[in-house]
Amino acid sequence: MPMEILLFGLLAVLVVFMFVNGRRRQKQMKAEQEEKATKTVPGVKVLLQGGIYGTIVAYDHDDLDSPALVEIAPGTVIEVHSQAILRIVEPKDLTDGVDVVGDETPVVVEETPVVEETPVVDDAPAVETPEETRRRLERDADDK
C-alpha cells in the first residue's frame, strides 16, 4: 500500500511539472512571435524557411493568413505564408574579425583574401539598400 501512494505522489509531481514547464515555454514562444511581428516591416531583410534571403515589401501583422510579399531579387516579388519567415537578418556586428581576450585590448585578425580573376560585367545589378528598394517599389506601383 505505501508503494502505491508513493507512485501516485510521483505521478502528481510529474503532471504538475509538465503543466508548469509547458506554460512557460508557451509564454516564451508567444513573446518571440510578437517580437518577430514588430520587427517585420517593409524594407527589412529576412531569411525564409527555404534558405532564401529577401526584403519584406508588404506584411500584415494582424492577419497572419494573408501572404507576405518578399522581394528576392530586384523586380522579383514572391508571396509567402507569414510563417515562412524564419528570422530577421540583423546587420553584422562591428566586432566581426576582432578577437577580445579577457581585459586585453582587441586584436584584429586579418585574413588573407583569396583573389580570383573574374570577368568584369558592366551590366551587373547594383545592390540596393532597403530604402532604395522601398522607393523603387513605390515608383513601380505609381506607374501602374
Q: Where exactly are the structural domains of the chain?
A: 1-39, 41-94+126-144
C-alpha to C-alpha distance for 142 and 107, rounded to whole angstroms: 51
Residue 142 has what pLDDT? 84
> Which pTM does this prediction carry?
0.48
The DSSP-derived string for 24-77 is HHHHHHHHHHHHHHHH--TT-EEEETTS-EEEEEE--SS-TTSPEEEEEETTEE
C-alpha to C-alpha distance for 111 and 99, rounded to whole angstroms: 13
pLDDT in tens, 106-143: 555 566 666 666 565 566 566 778 888 888 888 888 88
CA distances for 118 relative to 9, 113, 115, 127, 137, angstroms: 71, 14, 9, 18, 31
